[in-house]
Structures are given as C-alpha cells and as structure tokens.
Amino acid sequence: MEFSLFEFLQHATIKINCELKDGSTASGTGFYYQFILFGGITCTAIVTNKHVIEDAVGGQIVITALDDHGKPNFQDITNVKINNFENIWIKHPDPNIDLCIMPTPQLFGEYSKTGKKPVFAPFRKNEMADFSNLDIYKPTEDIYMVGYPNGLGDNIHNLPIIRRGITATPFFIDHNGNPEFLVDCACFPGSSGSPVVIVNEASYSLHRQPLQAGNRMLLLGILYAGPLFDATGKIKKYLVPTTSYVSTDIPMNLGYCISAKKLLDFLPLLEALR
C-alpha cells in the first residue's frame, strides 16, 4: 500500500522487547531497511544497536496486520516471540560501531503462522542521504527521530512516538573522526536504535540553492548514545540505555547517531549468507 511520509515513519519502526539472562527485561527501537544485493536481489532486515539485544535470551517484536483492504488493522496486533534472540542478529564487524541487523525471514516466518500479512515499510537506498553529493546539505537540518522513549508508544495500536529536533553537527562530517554526528533532541532509554530522518512535505531547501518543490525523506543515521554531566561536572558519553533507571547524571538533550552509510558495511556479510 502507499503511505504518506509520516505514515511511512510509523510503520518503518518497531518496538523490540528483550528478556535478558538475569530475568530482567529491556526495550529498544528498530527499523526496517531493504538491502540490495548483487544481481538486484533484495534482503529486508531490522536494524538496531548491538547494546539493545546484548544478553537477550528471548525477544518479542510487535507487528501490525494488514486488513482485507491492504490497510493497517490497528486492532490486530501480534507479539512475535523469538528464542535465542541475541545470537540471530548479525553484528557490525567493527566492534566500535554499535549496529546489528536481523534479516526478516525468521520473524515473518513466525508471523505467517497467524495466517496474516504484516505491515512494514522499509527504508531503501533511495531514502538514504546521498553521501557522494554533500554540497546539497546544510550544516544544520531539521530532523525527526522515531521510536519508543522509555518504552512509551501507543501499545494498543502499535505506533511509535515521533520527536523533532535538529542536527547539532553536520551529519555528513565524521564527528571527531568517527562515522557519527550529534542531534539536538531529547534522548531517553528505549530510544536506542531510532532512525533519524529528514522529512519535508511540499517543499524543502538545499544548501545555497533556491527552494525546491516536492517531498523529501532522507535517512541520516541511527541513535545510539548521548553525553551526560556527572556529579563532578565532567562530561561523559554513554550508550542510551534500554531500561529506565535512577541517575544523578544530568542529560544534555544531545544524542550521538551512527551515520547511515555504515549500514552498507553489512552488504558483504549478507552476500556471504547467500
């Protein structure tokens, strides 16, 4: 079915619930991305952070069903349970890149036992920012971050929370030499794995160019960490947690995001599985 841009965001993201080895639970955000392999073969996978699924022995991913008219049935929600959860994810080969993916065949295979069709909207290469043509982007862009902060969302209708902010550093320049950038947007536990996107309807502006007519949606990166003031006034970087907790540290309403271009590093790993 055809989605408007913001409807797309609602169905591109998913809530990930984890059961950890110690019996506790945690949650994070994931989103669908469609990789294009050699020969034009496509492979849709869920993207999230490694630390979201770390030590998870079981997981649940929430899926909305399509109705008989091919539209989302917000009254038909299923929690798909998956065992051995951490081990089915493909982790980014660089230990410093907090990303992992799970190809969807196992997830949708489990869901198909319900006899229903899932609602999902994957980002594709066309929605990824063009990192080969950087002159068209402004140093600061308005962005949206989609996910489940503190595990919050519309649990009855399986809808995420969409937040708004700006890029705090140019997303196309590797911040301090790392493939990441900062956003000025409130980041809470459960937001880990949230996609950060530009969304414009009707018109948008490019760097030093006239106003452009049309719609635009660009995937810039994936939230994974944020800076905090500790009790001594020292700034430290921390992974956005997957559980709520009490802390004396002071958040700065900034978030570190891994550049979306790092998703392309998974292509050789997926090719090797064919």
Taking the chain (274 residues) in runs of 10, the rounded mean pLDDT of each run is 89 94 90 95 96 94 94 95 95 96 94 95 94 89 92 92 95 95 80 93 88 94 74 48 43 85 97 87
What CATH code would you report for 125-261? Answer: 2.40.10
| This prediction's pTM | 0.90
CATH 2.40.10.10 region(s) of the chain?
A: 5-123
The pLDDT score that the predictor gives to residue 209 is 86
Going from the C-alpha of 94 to that of each of 172, 175, 180, 261, the distances in angstroms are 20, 17, 14, 14
Element (H, E) at 258: strand 254-259
CATH 2.40.10.10 for the 5-123 domain, yes or no: yes
**Contact assessment for residue 157 and residue 26, using Cβ atoms and an 8 Å cutoff:** no
The pLDDT score that the predictor gives to residue 229 is 46
